[in-house]
Amino acid sequence: MNAPSRFRHLSALAALAAVAAVAACSAQSSGTSNSGSIKVAITQAMSGGTPPGLIALNEQINGGFLSYIDKVNAAGGIDGRKIDVLQLDDQTDPSLALTLTRRAVEQNQIIAIGSISSAATYSAILPYLKSQKIPLVSAAAGFLSTVIPVNANIFTVQTPLEVQGAIAGKYIVESLGVRKIGYAGYNDLGGYSWAHGFEQGVKAAGGTIVLTDEFPRGQTDFSGLITKLRNAGAETVAIYGSPTELTAVLQAADARAYHPTWYTGPGATDPSTITLAGKLAEGVYGAVPYQLPNAATPQAQLFRDTLDKYDSSIVKGVYTEYGYSAAQALVAALRGVEGKITRESFRAALESTKLDPAETLFTPQAVGPDSHVFNSSLQVVQFKAGEMTAVGGLSTGDLNMVKPYTV
């Protein structure tokens, strides 16, 4: 089923008009909830001042999430009850994200948030989610600082960013043999968390970070960064950003004949980087917390088959895997609820959920009262000949290998 028209959003206009319509994720649904449905929400930036590149990535996250939910609904849902997904368009505005989330909870009676668009959105809505005891099951909640100590309502299907950064730092020093390293990344919680782990990983492996810099989302001019990196003598540079920013960095470096080894965080380790950067992406290293979308494994094939059947228009990228994996965890917990499905019973079920490794794109970790992290996997990749190629196998990180980032 190719159903891109199902992307309907509760936006700023709807919030001001006090509209409380539920956009059902399934193409077969009427677009409104019914008494028998189970209601959840996802919030992504899909309009307003959101950069087109970010909208495209958020469409992938939504596509992965909704395709898996469509698959479940087509098979009868949860004990005969369909899952309705209210899609919130926060337009990269934290205050709007909070307004829409509040409306979804208070008027639509959602039991959970299944995905969020950014660290800024996460920071804005977290206090409210905690006060209302709304479980969050998301890849975007992948910060050690939010899961250690355990937050009762937060569950992540992404390897915490600090752990990803630490593994990256060690890999650059130990496997690439580089000692002088530069870093630049987002000036938000996501960027700071990954950088925090990265610095610890580099130091533990005996390397030196010769330059650390930051930039806002959407920056396009990186000429100054390239000058600073060259002057610092950085032999390998790690970039934490999206495919759009990484492409701009590579273009600025190429224009100035600066050619270090490049390593990118999970945000730009995606096929869209190849589309945007072309030959400049050749040789770039990166890592993702899942199997590659094109992996020759039963789990990746199941992922591709689901996308082909329920939304063939969506790119089969890593961002699609984020949404797909969040939906898997959410559904597994719903199936484990004993008795009436409420926020409280759903949260309790999440703590005892065991994901099936035959279906997940990562090596599932045991969750419980002491850990709400489903995933600590990482796959190192390299862009080669227009494709993302796995370097080695899927590894599992240690949540205790690095300290959480704190403000």
Domain membership flag for residue 402: no
Say if residue 50 is in the same domain as residue 128: yes
Whether 140 has a pLDDT exceeding 80, the answer reads no
Domain membership flag for residue 384: yes
Q: What is the mean pLDDT of residues 204-231?
A: 97
Domain membership flag for residue 238: yes
Say if residue 148 is in the same domain as residue 78: yes
Domain membership flag for residue 119: yes
Domain membership flag for residue 29: yes
pLDDT of residue 29: 33
User: Any alpha helices (H) in 148-265, and if so which ranges?
Assistant: 161-174, 189-204, 223-232, 243-255
Please, which pLDDT band fits residue 99 given cuts at 50, 70 and 90? very high
Say if residue 12 is in the same domain as residue 146: yes
Tell me how crowded residue 257 is: count the other CB atoms within 10 A of its CB.
Answer: 8
Helix/strand number for the chain, H first, E second: 13, 13
Say if residue 46 is in the same domain as residue 128: yes
Say if residue 142 is in the same domain as residue 167: no
Say if residue 83 is in the same domain as residue 154: yes
For the chain, what is the mean pLDDT?
88
Query: 260: domain range?
Result: 161-288+379-396
Say if residue 329 is in the same domain as residue 311: yes
CATH number at residue 262: 3.40.50.2300
Residue 187 DSSP SS3? coil
% the chain with pLDDT above 70: 91
Give CA–CA dist 254/285, Å, rounded: 17
Say if residue 147 is in the same domain as residue 44: yes
Say if residue 178 is in the same domain as residue 76: no
Q: Which of 16-25, 111-120, 192-201, 251-260 is predicted with the least confidence, judged by mean pLDDT?
A: 16-25
Domain membership flag for residue 404: no
pLDDT of residue 400: 86
Q: What is the b/e burial string over 22-44, where b = at least 16 CB atoms within 10 angstroms of the residue's CB?
A: bbbbbbebeeebeeebbbbbbbb
Tell me how crowded residue 307 is: count the other CB atoms within 10 A of its CB.
Answer: 24
% the chain with pLDDT above 90: 71
Say if residue 256 is in the same domain as residue 389: yes
Whether 397 has a pLDDT exceeding 50, the answer reads yes
Check the CA dihedral 52-278-210-399 and report its sign.
Answer: positive
Say if residue 57 is in the same domain as residue 200: no
- As for how many domains the chain has, the answer is 2
Give pLDDT tens digits for 323-335: 999 999 999 999 9
Predicted TM-score (pTM) of the model is 0.87
pLDDT of residue 120: 75
Give CA–CA dist 124/100, Å, rounded: 11
Residue 54 DSSP SS3? helix
Say if residue 90 is in the same domain as residue 234: no
Residue among 361, 370, 310, 367 at smallest CA distance from 333: 367
| Residue predicted with more confidence, 9 or 352 | 352
